[in-house]
Amino acid sequence: MIFKLFPNCASYIRNFSETGSPLAADIITSFQLWNAKKFDECRAIILLDVMKIPYTQIVKGDIYGSEQTFLDAISSFVTCLQYRHCTGVKCPLPPISNVYPSKDFVIRSPRMLEVIYSGKTSSALCDGCKTPNCETSFNWPTTGCPPFFMYSIAHGTGTTAVEGDVMPKHTIMGKKYSLFAYTVKSGDHFYAVLNYKGKKYVYDGMNADEILSFRSAPPGHKLSTVWCTLDD
Ligand SMILES: [Zn+2]
């Protein structure tokens, strides 16, 4: 939907495709199939080529955890840099590393996002050598920030992040993003809620004749992922 509704997001993914990203090419092909209402072929590309789920597993209907598998698969679209200043003499971690927010961090609550990606330096026990006061900060790569950003919310025991907890505006490493969509988990079932031009639309499955059914989301369901788009 981000691809369909936001021209800057579509051209961003087209640029990836033009520089030889098979992932971006598969995503573009899947949208062309979707537009042509070839939903089965669209789904096949997403499951087999993008998410790389083995065919035998799909036939069994075992696609548990597939939302995170999808976020992992497309994580290279949204990257940032992690800077680390560790005083440990044998620290195995590099001073600068690439981070894929949708894959590398699962966040307990939307508020945590702005803390992690504040751009400020934080100090903690080093993940690599356990030296105290290892200083880390995040920033966008020199190529700039992406036109969209997505992150995963931890679900499981003790997590209570619900749709009312997600902020309409996010500041991520100094850039303003607006909430576009979130997925909600209800038991074993997931659906997406899109926020577009002041209205909420629930999207629940690719089989529907109508791609978007306009209805309100039931309250209290747990958040699963959040998608934002860059403000102008
Ligand atoms: Zn270290």
Domain boundary among 63, 79, 106: 63
Q: Give me 215's structure tokens.
A: 């209805």
What's 40's DSSP letter?
Answer: H
Residues near ion ligand 1 (Cβ under 5 Å): 86, 88, 91, 126, 128-129, 131
Alpha-carbon distance of 178 to 192, in angstroms, equals 16
Domain boundary among 45, 63, 81: 63
**Range 209-221 average pLDDT:** 59
Check which CATH number belongs to the domain holding 120 and give it: 2.60.120
CA of 120 relative to ligand 1 center, distance in Å: 19
User: For residue range 143-194, what is the model confidence (pLDDT) as tens digits?
Assistant: 899 999 999 888 765 667 888 888 899 999 999 999 999 988 777 777 888 8
Model confidence, pTM = 0.87
Domain boundary among 48, 63, 78: 63
Exposure string for 116-143, b = 16+ CB within 10 A, e = fewer: ebeeeeeeeebeeeeeeebebbbebeee
Continuous segment of H or E residues that includes residue 200:
strand 199-203
